[in-house]
Amino acid sequence: MVEFHIKIHPEQRLTRIPKILTQNFGTIWTLVPNKEAAVVFSEKADLATVLKSLEIIEQDLQLRIESGRSKK
């Protein structure tokens, strides 16, 4: 699974978004955060599809934990 590391300028709070993300999500996104994580999706995305995508991401993260590739 692809992973992006995005740095945010500490004072200006700006960042560079990789072109492939804007091609896939468009230029207006919805971000739903909590304390440890956030989900980002296109404003036009179907929520049922977003949830299915999150299940795939969850499986990938679980595999990383099980194989010892987690950061913590």
- Record the tokens describing residue 17, joined without a space: 């978004």
The candidate with the shortest Cα–Cα distance to 42, out of 55, 53, 20, 27, is 27
pLDDT for residue 2: 86
pTM: 0.79
User: Which residues, in sequence order, are CB contacts of 1 under 8 Å at separation 6+?
Assistant: 57, 60
pLDDT digits (tens, 9 = 90+) for 14-64: 999 999 999 999 999 999 999 999 999 999 999 999 999 999 999 999 999
Residue 72's pLDDT band, with cuts at 50, 70 and 90, is low
Mark 2-38 as b/e (b = at least 16 C-beta within 10 Å): eeeeeeeeeeeeeeeeeeeeeeebeeeeeeeeeeeee
pLDDT for residue 69: 78
Higher pLDDT, 15 or 70: 15
